[in-house]
Structure 1
């Protein structure tokens, strides 16, 4: 190779590295801090079912990020991994569009599906942006520290917008609990759990000091959110992930059996009184913080349209549901969502949509992990992706987050799915080999 050709190649690699770094950090901060942090929850708008969470600036930034990510991805040697597995995702999103078109609110479903596809494309490209695992850990660490700085800044200087107040219209009982720049204490708690996972990875792959700082700051914030479920799940998932990694025979029971039992005990307690009584005897709140009313109502609605559901994004918070007069029988008609991702997907897209989702987020990751070489199965990178994956599929039993376009947990979950896919394809490569020959992502 001539010196001129080498210089040209080196300049192209440098440009790609810089573009990748900018896209990585911009995308991370967009999801983890957002365009509109520190939302005022005391305004009457929070009770308006027609009030969307999006705005014009948010839409513009989303489109710009998508365009930039797609352009980068199409120019990357590993562009074939974008939006994989394509056959399954093609069927899944086509079904979402179909049930939306025949629903009472077709435009809600169509826009929601398009946004879900955009976020999935972004996530499938995200791990192609770093130049190495250390570069990935460094950017992840810096981004997480910035996020934590914003969260603590809010507690110190914007307490009225960062700590739940008794004057809030929707949930005044949360007064005193931290939420930082997030819209709710539960979303803040989930973010801090994921941030702690990031800290453990950063500690092992980039900087021990930065990693420890992230873990300690995240855990302290998590405690102050009052998120009991997330606080309990942090050590539980770390232990579960360790067992999952060490004992191969328990992997399927942990994922399939564990998620099934978790949903049975949670959602099932709302329908089957003997199960509810059993859970109460164990000292557990069988209503799961009043979620039981929502689940009973959702099951009743699902029984009427089990195949096609009510259309993607076309059930909760629709005007006819909120103003239907059903509030006389149950307050659940005014719920923001079903507080269970699996139940919500079935409610919106029917059981076929739920089955396709389970294949994508539960079955395929299990297969990818089983295909990994031993070194990859026990790497810090795989450990990070596995922790995020396990936390999300279990947390989904109590929160609605699947296909939520602007949800940071959903986006992190998606790129972790792609991380497991890439780790399954990873092969040992010399530094001089090109990315195209390696067949493995930089991260």
Structure 2
């Protein structure tokens, strides 16, 4: 006996609006609100008390809603590989440059991860996707309203030093790359997860989102969206023995093409005279690699490389514009300089390799479920090649990555309850029916 998505509950059917679903919706809302309210202390590590307290309350509410106080083993819902990666991050606090800032950031990351896994395990696949679709539709509508009524919803020179961002749509969020990532995820979810919707409404949302994504000019999101859609289609159409080879090949090829475009983008866009947001990445990474070369196994400690004030290691390697950034625009390199090579390996196995292997080899999950989750996982993995979000608190793609891993556990988990043997009366009745049939 196996589970194919919606987790079986001994308590019988439950209504859609359960406490865990409410928490899920609030968590998604905070994912959007957090970048807006976190305006102070960007380079000092001072953080935002309201943000931290709100997530702590949300975590406590999740513990209550899913019944952890009665069944503490529910805390073990997070995969062992991910717990090991987070454990290494906690260990890195012993050598962190600023242990207090690292502690605060890691505590926030840990609470958010456990909150996501607890509420998704309680909600199940179908209910989680419904909440996501409602939230993303509301956010899309709000972003269009923002464009119509607020000039600040479009990037201008007043809010950015990069002239290449001028005219790009950002909507409610402070940066167009955040908006682009959410748009891409919206398209994936409605493409693979909206089969029960009215087709005309579903297509309208996808088209409206695609246009908004185009206006953001978020090239990482647009490029990885194409790869994710193709990967989801492979998972949807092919058997495990084929998709387990085709999807990694497609992802690696797309990442190689994207990284190559960073080097040659100026030449490719020369006739159009358009500055691209990807230029500059290759100038950031050498400084991070130099630090990693000097601290290969430990790094600076989780959360202790960027934005901790004058002690930030980046100032020891450069004083130019790179030192004023808040991240390295590559989630893997940023983890390398924070938790060293052992931590990076643990993180990649936990967040990318293990979930991918589980999905691509699964014979339990439904095809549409596999298509969606493979597409989301591929998008998150590729997006981190030019943007940093891996194990990074409540960043948008980190939240969606944790959603993907949690849902992977839901749809691929086999039931631990053995099939119940028929009662003696049922066996006797069945034998009598077979004898009657034989005589007839």
CA distance in 2, matches of 1:58, 1:66: 12
Contact 2:351 2:401 in 1 (8 A): no
Is residue 50 from structure 1 mapped to residue 44 from structure 2 by the alignment? yes
CA distance in 2, matches of 1:109, 1:51: 9
Match of 2:390 among 363, 382, 402: 402
State the partner residue of 1:62. Answer: 55
Q: Using the TM superposition, name which of 199-208 and 413-422 deviates more.
A: 199-208
Choose 1 or 2 for highest CA Rg. 2
1:34–1:129 CA distance, 2 compared to 1 (3 A): farther
CA distance in 1, matches of 2:71, 2:210: 37
Matched ranges for 1:335-414 at <5 A = 335-373=325-363, 376-378=365-367, 380-414=368-402
CA distance in 2, matches of 1:85, 1:311: 23
Matched ranges for 1:69-108 at <5 A = 69-75=62-68, 80=73, 82-85=75-78, 87-108=80-101
CA distance in 1, matches of 2:69, 2:131: 20
TM-score using structure 1 length: 0.79
CA distance in 1, matches of 2:373, 2:305: 32
Contact 2:329 2:385 in 1 (8 A): yes
1:92–1:179 CA distance, 2 compared to 1 (3 A): same
1:167–1:420 CA distance, 2 compared to 1 (3 A): same
Give the match's secondary structure for 2:93.
helix
State the partner residue of 1:167. Answer: 158
Q: CA deviation at 1:130?
A: 3.3
CA distance in 1, matches of 2:77, 2:10: 30
Contact 1:137 1:206 in 2 (8 A): no
Is residue 123 from structure 1 mapped to residue 122 from structure 2 by the alignment? no
CA distance in 2, matches of 1:132, 1:247: 22
Q: CA deviation at 1:280?
A: 8.4
1:77–1:132 CA distance, 2 compared to 1 (3 A): farther
Is residue 307 from structure 1 mapped to residue 297 from structure 2 by the alignment? yes
Give the match's secondary structure for 1:123.
helix
TM-score using structure 2 length: 0.79
CA distance in 2, matches of 1:187, 1:232: 15
Match of 2:194 among 190, 193, 203: 203
1:333–1:19 CA distance, 2 compared to 1 (3 A): same
Q: Using the TM superposition, name which of 230-239 and 279-288 deviates more.
A: 279-288
CA distance in 2, matches of 1:207, 1:314: 48
Matched ranges for 1:423-438 at <5 A = 423-426=411-414
Is residue 237 from structure 1 mapped to residue 231 from structure 2 by the alignment? no
Q: CA deviation at 1:206?
A: 3.7
CA distance in 2, matches of 1:179, 1:338: 21
1:340–1:317 CA distance, 2 compared to 1 (3 A): same
CA deviation string 1:97-117 (max 9, x = no partner): 222221211112222221121
Give the match's secondary structure for 2:387.
coil
- Structure 1 unaligned segments of length 5 or more: list them: 1-8, 271-275, 430-443
CA distance in 2, matches of 1:286, 1:252: 34
1:212–1:231 CA distance, 2 compared to 1 (3 A): same
Q: CA deviation at 1:214?
A: 2.3
CA distance in 1, matches of 2:79, 2:409: 13
Q: CA deviation at 1:219?
A: 0.7
CA deviation string 1:101-150 (max 9, x = no partner): 212111122222211211111121232343772x4443322211111122
CA deviation string 1:146-171 (max 9, x = no partner): 111221121111222x1101122433
CA distance in 2, matches of 1:256, 1:199: 23
1:24–1:168 CA distance, 2 compared to 1 (3 A): closer
Q: CA deviation at 1:424?
A: 1.2
Q: CA deviation at 1:240?
A: 2.3
CA distance in 2, matches of 1:78, 1:210: 41
Contact 1:123 1:418 in 2 (8 A): yes
CA RMSD of superposed structures (Å) = 3.6
Q: CA deviation at 1:292?
A: 0.4
CA deviation string 1:330-354 (max 9, x = no partner): 4322222111111111110000001
State the partner residue of 1:26. Answer: 26
Q: CA deviation at 1:258?
A: 5.6
State the partner residue of 1:440. Answer: none
- Structure 2 unaligned segments of length 5 or more: list them: 1-8, 418-440
Q: CA deviation at 1:323?
A: 8.7
Give the match's secondary structure for 1:34.
helix
Is residue 138 from structure 1 mapped to residue 141 from structure 2 by the alignment? no
State the partner residue of 1:434. Answer: none
CA distance in 2, matches of 1:291, 1:208: 40
Contact 1:233 1:391 in 2 (8 A): yes
CA distance in 2, matches of 1:318, 1:35: 19
CA distance in 2, matches of 1:366, 1:265: 21
